[in-house]
Structures are given as C-alpha cells and as structure tokens.
Structure 1
Amino acid sequence: MKMEEKKTVIAAVSGAALFLLVQSLPITPNGDYERGALSALYLIGSWCTSAFGFAIFAQGWLLFSNQLSRGRLYSSALFLGVCVFDLLHTLGFIGIPFIRSLISEDRALWLLSFSRLASAIGIFLIFGKEDSPALLSGKNSILRKSIFLVVLSVIVFSAGSYFLQGIISPAQATFARKLLNAAVLLVYLLGIAFIISPARAEKSPSLLIIIRSLIFLALGQAFYLDASSGKNLQLLFGAVSCAVAYYWLLGGVYRLTLEEPFHEKRAIEAQINYLVYHDDLTGLPNRRRLLQQVDEVIESHRTSAIRSCSALAVLNINHFKHINVSLGHLAGDRLLQLAASRIQEGARRNEDLFSMGGDEFAYLMTDIGSVDSCLLRSRELLNLFDQPIELDSGEYHISLSIGLSIFPGDGDTAEQLIQNADTAVHDAKEQGVDIRRYVPFIQMKAKERLKLENDLRRALEREEFFLLYQPQVQLATKELVGMEALLRWQHPKRGLVSPAEFIPIAEECGLIVPIGDWVLRTACRQNKEWQLAGYRPICVSVNLSMRQFLQPNLAGKIGGFLKRIGLDPRYVDLEITESMTMDKEKAFEQLTRLKELGVYISIDDFGTGYSSLHYLKNMPIDRLKIDRSFVAEVMEDSNNAAIVSTITSMAHHLKLKVTAEGVENEEQLQFLRQQRCHEAQGYFFSKPIRAQEFERLFLKPTIFGMPS
C-alpha cells in the first residue's frame, strides 16, 4: 500500500476512534470556569476553521493566477461563502454584543448547519469529476456571482429565520436542524464513496488528501448531529475536526490544482525532450544528440592542452534489408534492439553509442591515443558479433561495416565528421571491406554516385537504356532454345555504364521497379515481333529484382503486359535469386501466382544464395542456373567440379532443368555434357549482342542447328 493510502486509512481509523472515545467520556462542564474554557477553545477552533476557509479562497484566487483550473476557482468561490457563514456563526455563538442582538445561539447553530451543507454539496460537485482548465476572462465573473450568492444567502437566512420563528416551535426547529445535519453527513459520506469508487481512475496523492479532509468533515458533522448550546464538548470536537479537515483541504486543493499539473507538465516536457534526443526503438541517443556531443568534444579539444584524438565510427548492419524482407519488420526491429544492446554492453569509458536511424549506429570514441588505437577498437567492435544473435525464429549471424572519421583531420565541425564517417561506411560496403577511414577521394566518389543517381532517374524518359540478348543452347542437340535479355545503359557523357555500377544504385533508390518493368515489356515485345516475323518461337529470360518480386500485384502486372503484347506466357522465363525465397510462405504464394500465368521460373546464380535447399521440392520452380563462378574454374578446381556435378545430379532427381552460365571454352562444355547439363550460355556461344545482330546470327532458319 502506498504512503498516501496508508495515511488515508489511518485518518479514517483515527477519526472513528476519536468519535467513539468522545461519546464514551461522561464529561459535562460544570461551573462558569469550565464552560468558559470550553467556549474559549471552541472560539479558537472556529477561528481556525474560518481562517483555513479564507486561505482556501485566497490561495485559489490571489496566488498563481496564470494557472487557472475550474476546481481551484470553484473551490475558492465556495469557501468564500463558507468562511463568511462560519465567521458569522462564531461571532453569534460566542456572544459578541452587537452580533448577539442579530444572531442568537440557535440561529448560529443554523448558520453552522447551512455552512456545512454548502461545503458538502460543493465539494461533492467540484471533486466528484475530473478537473479542467478555466478561462482567465471568467474569473471575475465567478467572483461576482459568489459574492452575490453569499449576500443573498445571508439575506434569505435572516428573513427566513425571522419568518419561521413565529410558525414552528423551538422543539420542531431543533428536530429540523438535526435532520439537516444528518443529510449533510450523508452527503459527505456519499462524496467519499464516489471519489474512492473503483470505477474512477487511480487515485492521485492529492485526491487522497481531499478524501482525508472529507473523512474529518464527516467526523465533525457526526459531532454536530446532537450539538446544542448546552453540549459545548460536541461542538468543540466538531470545530477541531472541521479545522483539521479544512487544513487538509487547503493542501489537497493546492496539490490537485497547482502542484500536480505543474509536475505533470514538467514530466511531459521531459518526455518530449527525451523523444527529441533519443531513438524510440532502441532508446539510444539519436543524431540530434550526437551533433551536440560531437560539438562539445570539438570544443574541448580546442581548449585542452593535451593533444589526443577522437574518432566517430558509423556502424552499418550488412544485408539488413534481406533480414527485414525475409523475417519481417518486427524481427528486424528486435534484431536492431539486440545489436544495440550488445554494442552498448561492450562500450568503455569515454565511448558512447548513438542511433542514426534505420540499421546505422554511431560510436563516439573520445581521447583516443592514436589513429591505430581507433582502428584497433573498431576491429574489436566487429568482433562483438562473432556470436550469432538469437531471435524467436532462430539464431542469425550478422556482420557490420564501419566508417571512421577522426578529429582533428577528417572534419572541423560535427556535421562534417558525421557526414564523412557515413560516406566512409557506405564506401566500405561497396568495396566489401570491414573498416574504411574517410579520405577525400571517397567524398568525390560519393558525389559522382549522387550525380549518377540523378542521371539514372532521367535515363528512362530519355530512352538511354537498351537490351542485349545472349543465346541459350541445348547441349544435347546444339539447338538454340532461348535467350537472356540483359540491360545496358548508354550514358550521353559517360558512355556505356556497367550494370554492376548502376543496378545497385537503382535498387537503393527504388528505380529498379520501373526499370525492371521496362526490361520485361521490351524483351517480351521484341520476342513477339520475332515470332510475327516468322522465326521459330523461343523463350526469353528476364531477371526480376527483389523489389519487383515483392510487389503484391506482380502477377497481375505481368499478365497485363503479356496480354497487351500478345505473347504466350510459355515463352517467358522469369529468373529470381535464392535470397528472394528466404520468406518461404510469401515466396511460395508469389511463385504460385506467377506459375498460374503459364510462365517459367528459374533460380539464377544457384549455389551462391542464403536459402536452404528445402524450397526446391516444394516451390513451383522449373530450372536452376549454375552460377558462372562455379563454371569458370570447373577444370582447375575439383571443389567447383564437385559442386556442378552435385547440382546437376540433384536437378535430375527433382526433374528440374539445369542451365550453366559463363561457358567460355570447349573443355567446360564437354564437362557439362558429361554431367548431363541440359543447357548453357556464355561467351563460347556468343557474347550479349543487340537485337538486330541476334536476329541475323541466330534466328535465321539455317542457324538453328549450331556446329559442334
């Protein structure tokens, strides 16, 4: 149980015990001295009650007027009237000469009952619901209405008491007052029950203080139930209970309407500040905080007499997109969290980890002795991932690439150091190395790459792409059975740009989808034109990129292409890579939809991917294409020969066709024939050539059977 809840329970138990104790004490004041002492104590208690009531009014009205709430304003207005009634009751009951002629002891007791009735109903209505802001313009209006109601209540009370005095007897008046006091007690108890009801939200500490004040108001009202001018002890304990209740109410209203909103506002501001400077996925400081800290490091270097260096390492997870695609974004997010935890656990003094967003982190190392120490520490960071990361779906080995920028030397500002380290890590990934320190040449390469990307975006509309075709030959009959369409880019200034240079850029910037669509349409249209020209129909192979393959509407799009062109789907072979089948369920659904069109499906670069062989027996695949890296050294490397032999043997058992890529000489061709490889393509037959030359060399009727 929380502390405030304990205090509330203690207050309730103490109040009940006090009431029972007073009721059990046979104390009756005898003599003028005892009655005078009790009257003096009652006067002190009543004055305290009035003072605390006025303090509640002053606190809500005069202090912190720029932080208005309805609860604070209404409670202030309420206790303005309550303290006036309490004050008139006290003056009348004690017997101040001038007041005594206007307010008798009996009327003073009625004033006390009306005061408690007003406080009971008001507190129930104000604190029985959630607080809300109040407009500053409405403050004075509430005050005027409150004063008007107080004056009106005093007038009505005075007129009513004189009017009823001649109608009802004193005994009836006393009974009516007791009924009124009982009703007030009931309202207090209802207020307590309503506020602590389970249906309401968790009770704040300030609301528990108000509950304690209500408990003692109810206790005081219990004392007033049988109060009369002759029972000063009941009145005294009633006044003391109400004074304690008003004191607690003063603190509770302050905390509920001022202190708690202030701390809540501070907490919200702190949360916003945290979100501004931290990554919500990993909880690490973000790039904005990194900029600040690197600025501080640079400034400390400039003012320090000790000559040392600091390094900023940008860490990028290799092939993270494949993980996201194959395992899903939830698994990718979890992997980022685990990777961040592993790096952070390995951090040393003067080292801090930051999130750069996505799959990139920044690692700031300050006061490093030398550049060699930076490189050595970077290698240790890479070694943190020698052990696999365990996800719900299994264990996964990941690797990192690191780009380094070192101060002083690799940048004068935080922005330069971060940008240069980021440039270095992307160059490391392109070059296939683990660690790369920034050098100006890398920046030049990055600018060239950016310019190439901009040119690539306009290459389609400028019709700078074209296709080359490489023949595919059946080894048993030496017959042309197909061709592969290969994309090329004729840049107006650079000349012929290698696919190895622009395809990765197109993949990264999302252009690969429209470019891939263009390749498929152009190759299919060319194949249809050759069929219409009277040449024997053959199959055209087209590579699909990962982004293309993941399109949910891919089958419908390809079906639309073929229908508009008029090409039979059986003359189209779509080539995918093994990495596209890592998510087996999605890959199976996509391949099934493609097979329903009637096209062929081939696995390109077989043996170099990440997937298992499990998909071969379940997925609708027609052909395996042995990667050229295995064929190139098949006569020199026994391991490569064994791999090719195994692939062809397995394909025969699974009733799949096998095509060998990269055949360049007669020895390779004879080896593939011995392994019963079905088809082959490579420079031994022809390099990739333009459509006109392909038509002239291979599509003439006399060329179908090729010389051995």
Structure 2
Amino acid sequence: MLAKVVRSKAVARAAVIGLALGVFALAVLAAVSITTNARTTAHIEHNSRISDHWSQIDLHISVETEALNDYMVAKKFGKDLLDSAVHSTRPDVEWQAANGDSLDKENIVLVQDSYAAFTDTLNELRRTTSNRDRMKELADQATLGASFLRKSANANVNRHRLAMDSYLADAASFNQKLSLAAAVICGADFLLLVLCASILLTHQRRIEGQAVESRYRALHDELTGLANRALLADEIEKALRVAQEQDESVGLLLLDLNKFKEVNDTLGHHAGDLLLSEVAARLTAAVRGTDTVARLGGDEFAVLMPEIHSPEHCSEIARRLLESLEGPAELDGVTVDISGSIGAAVFPLHSSSGPELLQHADIAMYTAKRNRLGIAVYDPSADRHSSQELGLIGELRRAIDEDELVLHYQPKVSTSTGRVVGVEALIRWQHPLRGLLFPGDFIPQAEESEIIVPLTDHVLGMALDQHRIWRAQDTLLPVAVNVPTVCLLDDTFPDRVAEALASRGVPAGVLTLEITETSIISDPAQASAILTRLRGLGVRLSVDDFGTGYSSMSYLQSMPLHELKIDRSFVRTLGESHGGTAIVRAVLELARALDLEVVAEGVEDEAALVLLGQLGCANAQGYHISKPVRATDLMAWLGRPVLESA
C-alpha cells in the first residue's frame, strides 16, 4: 500500500510542492527574525542613548550642585569651578528635547523650565556677594531645584529601563514563537524531504528497471523471448573474437519455415504466433547450452554455434535440429505440420566477419529452400548465383518501368477443325545485356518477392492492349494470362482486372485467367471467393497443369471454373503408355461430368494431336502446333497481314 502511495504522481507532486512551501516558510521566518532582531537592536540602541542622556543630565546637575557647595564654602576658590559647571547640562537637555520619545519631550519641557530657574538662581547667587543671608537663601533654592532635576532624570532613566525590559521580554516571547514555528516547519520539511527522497529512489529504481526492460526488449524478440537480430549480431562478434583467440570455428544456422504464410492466411495471425512460439520452444530445447537461438523476424530463426569442428559437424547439428523441429503441432484445435529449410555457414572457412557469416548462411538457406534440400551448407558458386538473382529482381523493377518486357503468344487450336481458338500470353524479358530471358529465369524469384503483383498487372495490361489491336483489325483472338497464387489471396485483384478491362474497352469474355492447382488448395475459401468475383465479371477461369496436384479434385465441383488444361507430362506419354492414355481419358471424362472445357498442353507431334481428337479433347497447344512467338510472327503464322503491336 505504501509503495503504491509513494509511486503515486499526485503524492510526488504534493511532496515537492509541500517541501517548496516549507523552504519558503523557513525563508520568511528567517527574514522576519532578521527584521525583528534589527528593529529590536535599533530600539534598544535608541532607548539606551535616551537613557544615557537622562543619566548625563543627572550627572551634570550633580556636578553643578557640587560646584555650588564648593562656592558657598570657599567663594574665592569655588567661583571658577562654578562658572565652568553652570550650563553643562544644557546640551543633554537640548538633545533630549530633539531626540527623545513623546513622553521624554513632555518631561523635558518641565526639566527645561526647572533647569532655567536653577541656572538663573546660580547666576543670581554669583552676582550676590555681600548679603550672606540672600546667598544662603539662593543656595537652598538652587539645591532644591537641583534635587528636583535629578529626581526627574532618574525617574526617566528608570522608566526607560523598565520599558526596555518589557520590550526585550516581548521580543524574547516573539523569538520563542518564531523558533517554535521554525522547528515545526523544519520537522515538516524533514519529513517531506524523506518522502521526496523515497519517491526519488522509487522512481530511480523504476527507471533503472525500465532501462533494463527496455534493453531486454531491444535485444529480444517480444513474441518468443529469443534473442533478436541486434543481440545475435553482438553474440556473433563475441563468438568470432573468442574463436580467433583460440583458433576455433563458429557455425551459424539460418532457419526459414515452410508454408508459414499459408498458416497465417488460413488460420489467422494468432495461429501464426502460436506456431512461432512452438518453433522457438523446440529449437531452444534442441540446442546445446553454449548455443544462441534468435528470431530474426517473420518466420526466420538463427542458431549461433561456437566450437564447431567442421562443416560436416555443423551440418550434422543442423540435421538434428531439423528433426527436432519437424512434426505436427496443435494450434487452437488445428493440427499443422512444421517443417523448414536450414542454411549453414562456418567461420572462418566460409566467412571472415559476422555480417558476412550471416549473409552466407542466408544464401545457403535460400538454396535449401529453393531446391527443397532441407539443409544446405554455404557454397561460393551458389553465392554468385544468388547474387545474380538478387540483382535480377532489382533490374526487373526497372524493366517494368522501361518496357523491356515482351509477350510471346502460343496459339490454341481446335483438334477437330485446326482453327485457332485463342492464344496464351507468355512473358519474356528482353534484357539489355543478357538477351532474351524466359520465365524460368526470373518468375520464380519474382514470386518470392512483392514484385510479382505489379508484374502480373503489367502482363495483363500488355495482353489486353494487344487483343484490342487485333480486334481493331478484325482479328478476334481470346487471350489467356497466367495468374500467380498471391493474386488469389488478394481481395483487390478482381477490382484491378475489372479496371484493366474497362480502361481498354475489352469485353471480359475474351480474357482467360490461368491458375495452378496449388494456388487453389493453399486457401480454398479465399480462392473460391476471388474466383467467384472474377467469374462474375465474365472472365473465363482455367486450371493450368491439371493433374500434377494431389488434393484439388474435391474442389473442382465447388470452384467456378470453365476449363482444365491437361499437364504436358501426361500428353507427352500419350500413345506410348497405357497409363498416360488412361489418365488423359479420365480427365476428359471428369471434365465432361463437370461441364468443363479441356485444353491439352505440350502437344509435340501429329500423333498426339490426332489421338487427342479421337479421345474427345476439344483444344490443344504445343510446339507441334506453334512455339510461343511475338504478335507480329503470330499474324504471319496465321497467314494474315502483319499487325504491329502497341
């Protein structure tokens, strides 16, 4: 409870304000005390001077009286003494009249009158030299006046002494009260100071705790609690220094999960977080005590391993980690299978620095993932290839902007009439240095980056532009465009297709979008929703490479499709094996049952084309009919006037 009070901001503010007021009150008390003492000192000094002058009046009257007595005894010898003593009291009387207080000034008037009479009596006595009786009478009169003056002076001296005692008593009482107030305020200030110190220490401990927590958060992944990229970099540098000093090797593993995006997209980000936490727990349990497990971001993890004997030792540990990782995991009631790809690099064999070690492990991981190896150790030749591919992606962005991409068109023909029923648009890249690049040279890399989306939109626009040119010259050729998986998970894709058709004035029915089986089964619900919207636009939908998948059959009846394209691997063995013919016949029967059109891909000879017609396959395409060619060459192939492409 007390800790909560101390931590309260209101209490902290009140304590600081109270302490400030206490210090101010002490300052006020000190000022009052100084002022009071100064006033008391001045008052005492003034009263002392007044009392002193009254005492001087008494003293001078005594002197003048003694001089009178001496004169009366020995007139000859006392005359000079009396002459010098007369009027000696006058300066004190005049000072008192000018500087005394109000009561002094009232009293001094009577004293002045009495002193004047006393002086006049002395002067008359001095002038009377022969009449002894008169002199004695005057002397008695002067003595009586002097007695009155001395009593008046003594009375005023006593009055001032009593007044001073009373004033000092009042001042002492006031000072005592000031001292008591100062003690109370000092006590309160001390308590407030203790409270402020407690608050300060509490806040200091909190700030230090927050600093520790902030540093921990800055160096650890919030979801899994593992080291993050920054901490891993520090640990790598430490491990490399130790390895150099002790002539040892250090291994680094980079792990990337397989199909993590599908888990996120299908089950939601909460399930993805659960999966990442499970992976972190499995990795932590499987590594050695000296190893460091880190999450670099997304679904990418790293394991730093000091004291590695060889690349084979590193690969062996990676294999054990992968075996510990792989297996089913329960995510909110849904069982998913965890798998991944690991890349390994070893210092100093493969790298000479921490960043280079991390880069080479990443390249090895990319090799393992791309080639489905599970585990791959860094290979310099793969490094060069990966660097080229990375540069290729950067160049691809420029190629889109500078119109270096071109489309080749492969015709589809009717097996019964030989008439061209449409074309498939296939992307090519006219690279300024490397020449003409085919899709396999850059599409797989593009599909692993975000550039696949603008690339698909660009290809769609190019194909629709070409169709518009053909139609303007009385050549109606429906066009098919391949669509990557990511587009079937993008809610905005149907809107972009609609906008591309509308902006070019092309009817939706002449456009066929070809998708793969894997894009359907990755997220059937989302794919069905996107395909339904596309079909609602009037766009035709085709499943490309049909038959190479293993779980899409159950979705055919629910997906809004128009067409199946039999994969070339089945067409190639057509007529050569009973199995190939049986598969093609089964696909044709399935398509007829579902009211779907069929196109056979990869027709490379006349016999296959004839057999497809006999089996009832309506349409076909392949090198036997025509290779993919430019738009101008396609028109020449059709035996028509050459049409310029936009």
2:15 matched residue in structure 1: 72
1:563 aligned onto 2:502: yes
1:621 aligned onto 2:561: yes
* Alpha-carbon spacing, 1:436–1:278, altered in 2? closer, same or farther (3 Å): same
How do 1:112-261 residues align onto structure 2 when only pairs under 5 Å count? 143-145=23-25, 147-148=27-28, 253=195, 257-261=199-203
Equivalent-residue separation in structure 1 for 2:425 and 2:593 (angstroms): 29
2:109 matched residue in structure 1: none
* Alpha-carbon spacing, 1:375–1:643, altered in 2? closer, same or farther (3 Å): farther
Letter of the structure 2 residue corresponding to residue 355 of structure 1 = R
Instruction: Say which of 232, 250, 273 aligns to 1:333.
Output: 273
Equivalent-residue separation in structure 2 for 1:351 and 1:646 (angstroms): 55
User: Which deviates further from its counterpart, 467-476 or 604-613?
Assistant: 604-613
Letter of the structure 1 residue corresponding to residue 241 of structure 2 = E
**CA contact under 8 A between 2:329 and 2:335: conserved in structure 1?**
yes
The CA deviation at 1:147 is 4.4
User: Which deviates further from its counterpart, 511-520 or 291-300?
Assistant: 511-520
List structure 1 runs of 4+ shifted beyond 6 angstroms. Answer: 2-5, 149-153, 245-252
How do 1:435-454 residues align onto structure 2 when only pairs under 5 Å count? 435-454=375-394
Tell me the SS of whatever aligns to 2:306: strand
Instruction: Say which of 518, 523, 526 aligns to 1:579.
Output: 518
1:429 aligned onto 2:369: yes
Letter of the structure 2 residue corresponding to residue 558 of structure 1 = V
Letter of the structure 2 residue corresponding to residue 444 of structure 1 = R
Tell me the SS of whatever aligns to 2:426: strand
* Alpha-carbon spacing, 1:338–1:565, altered in 2? closer, same or farther (3 Å): same
Deviations 1:235-264 (A, max 9, x none): xxxxxxx9xx99997898367512321221
Equivalent-residue separation in structure 1 for 2:577 and 2:348 (angstroms): 49
**CA contact under 8 A between 1:322 and 1:579: conserved in structure 2?**
no
Deviations 1:563-617 (A, max 9, x none): 2322221111111223333333332332222112111011222234575434322
Tell me the SS of whatever aligns to 1:340: helix
2:347 matched residue in structure 1: 407
* Alpha-carbon spacing, 1:324–1:605, altered in 2? closer, same or farther (3 Å): farther
1:124 matched residue in structure 2: none
* Alpha-carbon spacing, 1:432–1:636, altered in 2? closer, same or farther (3 Å): farther
The CA deviation at 1:366 is 1.7
Instruction: Say which of 444, 463, 479 aligns to 2:403.
Output: 463
How do 1:367-382 residues align onto structure 2 when only pairs under 5 Å count? 367-382=307-322
Equivalent-residue separation in structure 2 for 1:260 and 1:399 (angstroms): 48
Tell me the SS of whatever aligns to 1:552: coil
Instruction: Say which of 527, 530, 535 aligns to 1:595.
Output: 535
Tell me the SS of whatever aligns to 1:486: strand
Letter of the structure 2 residue corresponding to residue 455 of structure 1 = E
* Alpha-carbon spacing, 1:297–1:665, altered in 2? closer, same or farther (3 Å): same
Deviations 1:639-698 (A, max 9, x none): 555544433322221111222221223444355445433322111211111111211223
**CA contact under 8 A between 2:563 and 2:599: conserved in structure 1?**
yes
Percent of residue pairs bearing the same amino acid type:
38
The CA deviation at 1:635 is 4.9
Structure 1 unaligned residues grouped into runs of 5+: 9-55, 57-67, 81-142, 156-241, 702-708
Instruction: Say which of 455, 458, 462 aligns to 1:518.
Output: 458
* Alpha-carbon spacing, 1:270–1:687, altered in 2? closer, same or farther (3 Å): same
1:505 aligned onto 2:445: yes
1:650 matched residue in structure 2: 590
Equivalent-residue separation in structure 2 for 1:420 and 1:545 (angstroms): 29
**CA contact under 8 A between 2:262 and 2:523: conserved in structure 1?**
no
Letter of the structure 2 residue corresponding to residue 296 of structure 1 = K
1:280 aligned onto 2:222: yes
The CA deviation at 1:75 is 4.7
Letter of the structure 1 residue corresponding to residue 517 of structure 2 = E
**CA contact under 8 A between 1:308 and 1:370: conserved in structure 2?**
no
1:387 aligned onto 2:327: yes
Tell me the SS of whatever aligns to 1:469: strand
1:539 matched residue in structure 2: 478
Deviations 1:363-419 (A, max 9, x none): 112213333221111112222244223323632234322111112211122111111
Tell me the SS of whatever aligns to 2:327: coil
Tell me the SS of whatever aligns to 2:453: helix
* Alpha-carbon spacing, 1:520–1:278, altered in 2? closer, same or farther (3 Å): same
Equivalent-residue separation in structure 2 for 1:477 and 1:332 (angstroms): 53
Letter of the structure 1 residue corresponding to residue 223 of structure 2 = L
Letter of the structure 2 residue corresponding to residue 340 of structure 1 = A
User: Which deviates further from its counterpart, 665-674 or 378-387?
Assistant: 665-674
The CA deviation at 1:146 is 5.7
Deviations 1:196-230 (A, max 9, x none): xxxxxxxxxxxxxxxxxxxxxxxxxxxxxxxxxxx
Letter of the structure 2 residue corresponding to residue 530 of structure 1 = W
Normalized against structure 1, the TM-score is what? Answer: 0.62
Equivalent-residue separation in structure 2 for 1:385 and 1:667 (angstroms): 50
Equivalent-residue separation in structure 2 for 1:349 and 1:399 (angstroms): 23
**CA contact under 8 A between 2:602 and 2:622: conserved in structure 1?**
yes
Normalized against structure 2, the TM-score is what? Answer: 0.68
**CA contact under 8 A between 1:284 and 1:354: conserved in structure 2?**
yes
Matched positions, count: 485
1:36 matched residue in structure 2: none
Instruction: Say which of 345, 359, 362 aligns to 2:285.
Output: 345
* Alpha-carbon spacing, 1:149–1:572, altered in 2? closer, same or farther (3 Å): farther
Equivalent-residue separation in structure 2 for 1:144 and 1:532 (angstroms): 94
Letter of the structure 1 residue corresponding to residue 570 of structure 2 = F
* Alpha-carbon spacing, 1:146–1:483, altered in 2? closer, same or farther (3 Å): farther
Letter of the structure 1 residue corresponding to residue 515 of structure 2 = I
Structure 2 unaligned residues grouped into runs of 5+: 36-183, 642-646
**CA contact under 8 A between 1:385 and 1:397: conserved in structure 2?**
no
User: Which deviates further from its counterpart, 358-367 or 606-615?
Assistant: 606-615
1:296 aligned onto 2:238: yes
Superposed CA RMSD in Å reads: 3.4
Tell me the SS of whatever aligns to 1:355: strand
**CA contact under 8 A between 1:626 and 1:659: conserved in structure 2?**
yes
**CA contact under 8 A between 1:573 and 1:601: conserved in structure 2?**
yes
Equivalent-residue separation in structure 1 for 2:575 and 2:24 (angstroms): 104
The CA deviation at 1:634 is 4.5
Tell me the SS of whatever aligns to 1:460: helix
The CA deviation at 1:561 is 2.2
* Alpha-carbon spacing, 1:424–1:540, altered in 2? closer, same or farther (3 Å): same
1:554 aligned onto 2:493: yes
Letter of the structure 1 residue corresponding to residue 242 of structure 2 = S
Equivalent-residue separation in structure 1 for 2:411 and 2:579 (angstroms): 28
